[in-house]
Amino acid sequence: MEADGLFVYGTLREGGRFRAWLERTHPEGTTAAWMPGRLFHLPGEGFPAAVAGPEPEGNPPGPGWILGEFVGYEDEADLARALEDLDALEEVAEGLFVRRVVPVRLEGHLRYGAWAWLFPEDRLPRLEREAIEVPDGDGSAYF
């Protein structure tokens, strides 16, 4: 699956404390979107963590969907520059998050591929023990 933009679900979303970091990458626009997976709040760290999951049978919103924003860029070069910049914030080189292409759904159920920063799936047991799961997939109350 190719990526057409970014999917942001936490501190980079509208109202999040790192939204200015996203804005400095000059996105072309944003719209509400959902990705399949589970969302957790990490109270000690102050940011959310998503783990990708299988696409639920029902359409979003609902169980198994994470609410966020699809962020588009004018061309592939702009997207590549944004990824390089945002990888530093998400501490990809340090192994905090991994960047993967995930399927997302926009309003009207349009489907796209988007880059997202996720917790590796092998950390799911730790998240289940130490974090707060956000059952409705909307982490806006935590950032």
Could you tell me the domains of the chain? 5-142 (3.10.490.10)
Could you tell me which residues come within 8 angstroms of residue 38 by beta carbon, excluding any fewer than 6 positions away?
Answer: 50, 51, 53, 64, 66, 124, 127, 133, 137
Write down the mean pLDDT value for the chain: 94
According to DSSP, residue 109 is labeled: G
**pLDDT, tens digit (0-9, with 9 covering 90-100), for 83-128:** 999 999 999 999 999 999 999 999 888 999 999 999 999 999 999 9
- Give the pLDDT score at 73: 96
CB-CB contact of 111 with 38 (8 Å): no
Convert the pLDDT of each residue in 44-84 to its tens digit: 888 899 999 999 998 999 999 999 999 999 999 999 999 99
- State the pLDDT at residue 46: 84
pTM: 0.94
Confidence (pLDDT) at 11: 93
C-alpha gyration radius of the chain: 14
